[in-house]
């Protein structure tokens, strides 16, 4: 049997890193039937639509997509394709595991954080207007339904995977109603999980606390914008954006994509790091129930970093995107990963 999966290569470094990730995923022996669609500016040139309806129909059918980054014009132009897809499919949970890779030296060894970002509302509602010339308004939408849903997801994850603490991150001292509702819902859900520590920190203090001592946190539960910003901050703990994977989960379907964007500064050069997308692929394999294949890719990536010979430029190495992928495929030989997988629960 082959899994039907929608493949959205994206733009910028997207096509380079997704094709490397596809090669790594296929090397597990799992069969995929990829339904490939462009989205964004390139799709518009071809189909006169930023998100072709065939792409939407494909995700409705397959329920699973692997996606590269898509460029969003700044200060004008079309609204984010990424945000539109998350809203269209109600992918309310953005899951981002932040974890050091063996062999990657950073200022903070041994970081193991899970970021849970609400993915459908907040300031990403995109409701903006000009009140009078020179005055604009951007509305932050927070609902009880979405806040309760994301808090429940976070606590359920903590419960299922033995995580010890959840901190809700907010600015309810200033946004008393919107962020106030977010933490009110988080508190209510926390009461149902007495074995999991629940804390609340204000977002600016959280940034300082993270940089001072990231080990004090276990899982961070954030509304949309704070989740976006804090994710990039935390990516720096473990070696940068080239490494950190992500998943967008809804109740019906899921789209797997890295935290990073389209990196126009290095696009087309064949030097981008495909690790983040490949690790998003690991999360996809777990979602499909293919735990062995997921562990095979996970520990092959660990082995490549441990040896340190085939890392990409962002990690201080010289390997191209494809050379890194070749090294990961070669590291999949053998069964050593089975023993390693038995002793830990971190997904990536």
**Of residues 64-93, which lie at the interface with ligand NAI (CB under 6 A)?**
69-72, 82
User: In terms of CB distance, is 196 or 263 closer to ligand NAI?
Assistant: 263
Cα–Cα distance between 227 and 94 in angstroms, integer?
A: 9
In the numeric block, which tokens belong to residue 184? 């009110």
**Of residues 270-309, which lie at the interface with ligand NAI (CB under 6 A)?**
272-273, 276
Cα–Cα distance between 75 and 267 in angstroms, integer?
A: 22
Residue 101 DSSP class:
P
Burial of 145 (0-12, 13-18, 19+ CB in 10 A): exposed
**Of residues 231-250, which lie at the interface with ligand NAI (CB under 6 A)?**
241-242
> Looking at 106-114, 151-159, 160-168, 260-268, which segment touches ligand NAI (CB under 6 A)?
260-268
Reference 229, options 302, 155, 124, 125; nearest CA is 124
**142 near ligand NAI, rule: CB under 6 A:** no
**6 near ligand NAI, rule: CB under 6 A:** no
Q: Least distance from C-beta 101 to ligand NAI, angstroms?
A: 14
> Looking at 120-128, 155-163, 258-266, 285-293, which segment touches ligand NAI (CB under 6 A)?
258-266
**262 near ligand NAI, rule: CB under 6 A:** yes
For 187-242, give the DSSP string. HHHHTT-TTSEEEEEEHHHHHHHHHH-GGG-SEEEE-HHHHHHHHHHHHHHTT-TT
User: In terms of CB distance, is 264 or 316 closer to ligand NAI?
Assistant: 264
Q: Least distance from C-beta 267 to ligand NAI, angstroms?
A: 8
**266 near ligand NAI, rule: CB under 6 A:** yes
**260 near ligand NAI, rule: CB under 6 A:** yes
User: In terms of CB distance, is 74 or 131 closer to ligand NAI?
Assistant: 74
Residue 311 DSSP class:
-
Q: Least distance from C-beta 265 to ligand NAI, angstroms?
A: 5
Map 40-100 to HEC letters: CHHHHHHHCCCCCHHHHHHHHHHCEEEECCCCCCCCCCCCCHHHHHHHHCCCCEEEEEEEC
**40 near ligand NAI, rule: CB under 6 A:** no
**11 near ligand NAI, rule: CB under 6 A:** no
User: In terms of CB distance, is 166 or 276 closer to ligand NAI?
Assistant: 276
> Looking at 18-26, 107-115, 264-272, 282-290, which segment touches ligand NAI (CB under 6 A)?
264-272
User: In terms of CB distance, is 318 or 338 closer to ligand NAI?
Assistant: 318
Residue written as tokens 């063996």? 102
**43 near ligand NAI, rule: CB under 6 A:** no
**263 near ligand NAI, rule: CB under 6 A:** yes
**Cα-atom radius of gyration of the chain, to the nearest Å?**
20
Give φ, ψ of 135 to 5 degrees: -135, 120
Q: Least distance from C-beta 202 to ligand NAI, angstroms?
A: 25
**Site size toward ligand NAI, by CB under 6 A:** 21
Does residue 7 sit in helix, strand or coil? strand
Q: What share of the chain is helix, strand, coil (3-state, %, to 5)?
A: 45, 20, 40
Q: Which residues are at the interface with ligand NAI (CB under 6 A)?
A: 13, 17, 69-72, 82, 241-242, 257, 260-266, 272-273, 276, 314
């Amino acid at each position: 049997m082959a899994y039907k999966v929608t493949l959205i290569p994206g733009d910028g470094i997207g096509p380079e890193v997704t094709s490397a990730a596809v090669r790594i995923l296929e090397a597990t022996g799992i069969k995929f039937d990829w339904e490939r669609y462009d989205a964004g500016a390139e799709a518009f040139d071809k189909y006169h639509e930023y998100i072709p309806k065939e792409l939407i129909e494909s995700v409705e059918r397959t329920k699973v997509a692997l996606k590269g980054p898509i460029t969003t014009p700044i200060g004008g132009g079309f609204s984010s394709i990424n945000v539109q897809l998350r809203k269209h499919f109600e992918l309310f949970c953005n899951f981002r595991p932040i974890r050091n890779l063996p062999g990657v030296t950073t200022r903070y060894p041994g970081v193991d954080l899970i970021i849970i970002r609400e993915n459908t509302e907040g300031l990403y509602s995109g409701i903006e207007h000009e009140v009078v010339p020179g005055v604009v308004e951007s509305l932050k939408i927070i609902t009880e339904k979405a806040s309760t849903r994301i808090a429940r997801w976070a606590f359920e994850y903590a419960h299922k995977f033995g995580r010890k603490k959840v901190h809700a991150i907010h600015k309810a001292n200033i946004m008393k109603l919107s962020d106030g509702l977010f933490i009110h819902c988080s508190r209510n859900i926390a009461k149902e999980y007495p074995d999991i520590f629940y804390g609340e920190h204000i977002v600016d203090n959280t940034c300082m606390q993270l940089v001072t001592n990231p080990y004090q946190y276990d899982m961070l539960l954030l509304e949309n914008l704070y989740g976006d910003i804090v994710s990039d901050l935390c990516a720096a703990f473990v070696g940068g954006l080239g490494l950190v994977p992500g998943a967008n989960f809804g109740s019906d379907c899921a789209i797997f994509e890295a935290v990073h964007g389209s990196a126009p500064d290095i696009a087309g050069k064949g030097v981008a790091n495909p690790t983040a997308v490949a690790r998003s692929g690991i999360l996809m394999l777990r979602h499909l129930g293919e735990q062995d294949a997921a562990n095979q890719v996970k520990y092959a990536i660990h082995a490549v970093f441990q040896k340190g010979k085939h890392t990409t430029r962002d990690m201080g190495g010289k390997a191209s995107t494809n050379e890194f992928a070749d090294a990961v495929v070669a590291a999949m030989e053998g069964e050593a990963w089975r023993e390693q997988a038995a002793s830990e629960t971190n997904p990536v």
